[in-house]
Chain A
């Protein structure tokens, strides 16, 4: 039976396959060619093979490692903050949401706004002349930090990312929390268990798979961050908010180092691939 449909399946798959080949196939070849050759925007048509030179250039570039470290710290801190806040909100607000479903809509608004727009909005909000946050801090405390200074910019972008994506973690946890069968809770509460104890002994253990999924997705998303940081501060004072994506972008468009940026992109792809395979392997193991 499987054989009978072989041709038909291939025909049904062909639109997707052809589409992906057309849009991604050629670029993949290009990345490999340019990753291993010496090119500039002037000599695009005649790349000269240079072996691993681009990769050496990247791996000996301090900025590259700073960017990798930035992305890693940014991804892990935001993932943990978002998931902690999101979990707390989901569990605490669940009884309220049961009666008033619309409050979910209000809480997911930040996710529907483009991250690039969010970055621009924070520019306005944090501006020392027109921004409401410095205004209120000045009028209440008589003092306001320089949010985008080298000392504070990391915290600022972490908070901006956290506030935008906590709703995502919240949504995952809310769904997981609501799918815990009510009988299990009732069975656990007959002897007058306190809600806090119920959470630690029953609900949290049941939501552990969701915790892993949420932290993993948020880490990957934070690691590859570009839009909101770019529109809020660009590469930041002294390059202090250069994420991996921003590093590759700047190497390519600002400095025109095509080969080097391609080599960095290939390394980033490899890192993402390894991380993804590892994460999915862990989740498969855990779900057995």
Chain B
């Protein structure tokens, strides 16, 4: 069957342009000088310049991008790695022995469909009592809860795909469960671990509600920091600088996502189908 490709290219280009329009426009605005931004709102850049990025990357009282980036990085690392550490030993008996498949697994997996605001308020109250408000650790811990369901699912899928013979051979050699898990199963899961980490990192980096509620100054992540910049400037938003802030905030997940788009889209589908 012969199919014409030209109209399909057209549809692809239009769809990509419409859906990515805010991203394209933000990149374009970020590359215009402040004077050009007010005069020329079109997508065409007359005189590309990095002026806005220089402004953003120069530390001022109003906006400390490095602090926001560091907060996001630290909290996202905790939020991506911690769930892998706690879920890995659980994923194995779930696959090999069917342990917790009827209650524990669905309970954890369903956590991710709940509205985050339901947790946000009680977590706020708890953090206020234990002193975790406005700390990177506190933010990272709750991001780890957000990532736990998908992490567990991806690890369960990965272990289910491993051949059982290797584990049996290790058992013959007298390996106990702990050794078996960390010497045999863990190394075999490496590709899945990388995917899970990247996916968790992107999710954590992009999270907004917990950053908004649980941090005020010291641990404010990049997403929330970028929104401060709009809120504080009232009527006179410096659009070029604001656009540069957004580009910097969106870039880390974008780069990771584009490099690993196959695996990222694969995990999204896997996460949806089993849910």
Q: List chain A positions with a Cβ less than 8 A from chain B.
A: 2, 5, 8-9, 12-13, 15-16, 19-20, 23-24, 26-28, 30-31, 34, 44, 89, 92-93, 95-96, 101, 103-118, 120-125, 127, 129-136, 163-164, 166-168, 171-172, 175, 189, 195, 213-214, 217, 220, 223-224, 226-227, 230-231, 244-245, 248-249, 252-253, 258, 261-262, 265, 268-269, 272-273, 276, 280
- Chain B residues closer than 8 Å to A104, beta-carbon distance: 261, 265
Taking the nearest CB of chain A, how far is it from the CB of B55, in angstroms? 16
- Chain A residues closer than 8 Å to B209, beta-carbon distance: 226-227, 245, 249
Taking the nearest CB of chain B, how far is it from the CB of A87, in angstroms? 13
- Chain A residues closer than 8 Å to B42, beta-carbon distance: 132, 135-136
The chain A residue with its CB closest to the CB of B44 is A132
B110 within 8 Å of A by Cβ?
Answer: yes
- Chain B residues closer than 8 Å to A34, beta-carbon distance: 122, 125
Contact between chains at A15 and B89 (CB < 8 Å):
yes
Number of interface residues of B (CB under 8 A): 95
The chain A residue with its CB closest to the CB of B114 is A272
Binds A, one of B6-14, B46-54, B58-66, B189-197: B6-14
| 11 extra A-B contacts, CB within 8 A, seeds A27-B122, A116-B227, A231-B230 | A9-B93, A113-B23, A116-B224, A117-B223, A120-B230, A132-B41, A172-B272, A217-B275, A230-B208, A269-B114, A269-B115
A245 to B23, CA, bound (A): 26
A89 to B19, CA, bound (A): 12
The 0/1 profile, CB within 8 Å of A marked 1, for residues 195-216 of chain B is 0000000100111110011000
> Interface residues of B: mostly helix, strand, loop or mixed?
helix
Contact between chains at B97 and A16 (CB < 8 Å):
no
Contact status of A95 and B22, CB under 8 A, knowing A16-B148, A123-B230 = no
- The answer, among A27, A121, A189, for a CB contact under 8 Å with B1, is A189
Taking the nearest CB of chain A, how far is it from the CB of B204, in angstroms? 10
Q: List chain B positions with a Cβ less than 8 A from chain A.
A: 1, 3, 5, 8-9, 11-12, 15-16, 18-23, 25-26, 28-29, 37-38, 41-43, 82, 85-87, 89-90, 92-93, 97, 99-100, 104, 106, 108, 110, 113-126, 128, 141-142, 144-145, 148, 152, 177, 202, 205-209, 212-213, 223-224, 226-227, 230, 237, 239, 242-243, 246, 249-250, 253-254, 256-258, 261-262, 264-265, 268-269, 272-273, 275
A272 to B3, CA, bound (A): 44
- The answer, among A5, A20, A28, A110, for a CB contact under 8 Å with B93, is A5
A103 to B123, CA, bound (A): 41
Taking the nearest CB of chain A, how far is it from the CB of B121, in angstroms? 5
A149 to B69, CA, bound (A): 34
Most buried by B among A19, A95, A133: A19
